Homo-oligomer: A and B are copies of this chain.
Amino acid sequence: MFDQIFFTQVQFPTPVTPVEVERQMSRNAQNLQEKENGTQEELPANMRNADYFIFGKMDTFSRPPVTDFALENLFYMEAFSIFTCPKGFFTNRKDYQSFLIIYTYEGNGGLEYMGKSYSLGPGDGFFIDCRVPHLYRTVGDVWKHGVFHLNGPLVPALFSRYMENGSVSFYQPFTGNYQKKLEELLSIYGSVQPCRDWLASDCISSILTDLLRNASEEKETDSPVPENLRYLIAYMEKHFTQALTLDFLSRFSGISKYYLSREFKKYTGYSPNDYLISLRVEHAKFLLRSTTLPANKIALTAGFHDINNFTNLFRKKTAMTPGGYRKSC
């Protein structure tokens, strides 16, 4: 792993004997005290609201500068290091404007995050928002883990979808997409090439989307969309131009009308009828902007059997008339 990737090694003094550990612990306590007294005001943001006990070995990757455009628009890596840390190592932090993926290579670690505890063995990782209080530490003799700080304007929204699963941890084998894409990312940053920031962003997009996909599949497994409902939705997405009454949908899916309305809303956020209307309006928008067909013909083609009904529903969904939409495209 990490062949051809250049790291700079930093060795933190490791307290070996019980006396040294004791001394380090009391130094840490003193730091805490100074922090409480406000005598550590000059600390960097990720230290100001944090306690650390970092020792062991750190292999750091030097990322070249990224453009301002990338900072404002794309996904980008802030830092990547591999920590090999004996028992006693921990980070306890909050209010740090960064997102973090930690992935375990050897040994064991632990995470406390939003009232949950996670145990991490080889192949286990987590993805967290560092603004939220978090504590991670070595469990057992040693914990070798990759620390990947990343950011970008879309990360908060993606993270909140990731969190819907209720868990922030994930498992992937070393041969999985995470390690593959991470190494690809480091070699993109490590080589001189134009469009480096775009390639890096796409790599990070792939890593995060993959985490999101796995998390939502896990959620699916816990509470999957029922097979008949899934089939019904797919049917509606293909046949929305036909008249599909609730009676029909109920008979088609074998779900009672009352239960169907409730379940449909639960899994899609729409009522069955509202979803049909959305599909039809979407298709009408496509026809309005890409053909010369008159509005009444489009209404029919999209599954609206009454032009006034079409205009009203179109306006309700888009806050525009069909003609207004066509002109505004």
Which residues of chain A from 125 to 175 have a CB within 8 Å of any chain B CB? 154, 157-158, 161, 164
A212 with B195: CB separation less than 8 A: yes
| Partner-contacting stretch, out of A16-24, A110-118, A288-296, A308-316 | A288-296
Q: Which of B44, B201, B225 contacts A329 (CB 8 A)?
A: B44
Q: Which residues of B contact A279 (CB under 8 A)?
A: 62, 64-65
* Nearest CB in chain B: distance from A135 CB, A: 17
B191 with A43: CB separation less than 8 A: no
Tell me the number of copies of this protein.
2
A158 with B198: CB separation less than 8 A: yes
A286 with B327: CB separation less than 8 A: no
A46 with B290: CB separation less than 8 A: yes
Q: Which of B44, B201, B225, B292 contacts A192 (CB 8 A)?
A: B225
* Nearest CB in chain B: distance from A213 CB, A: 6
Which secondary structure dominates chain A's binding surface? helix
A286-B61 Cα distance, complex, nearest whole Å:
11
A201-B327 Cα distance, complex, nearest whole Å:
27
* Nearest CB in chain B: distance from A149 CB, A: 8
Within 8 Å of chain B (Cβ to Cβ): is A233?
Answer: yes
Within 8 Å of chain B (Cβ to Cβ): is A202?
Answer: yes
* Nearest CB in chain B: distance from A282 CB, A: 5
17 contacts between A and B (CB under 8 A): A42-B326, A43-B326, A44-B288, A44-B292, A44-B326, A47-B291, A62-B237, A62-B279, A63-B282, A65-B279, A73-B157, A161-B194, A190-B234, A192-B225, A193-B220, A195-B213, A195-B216
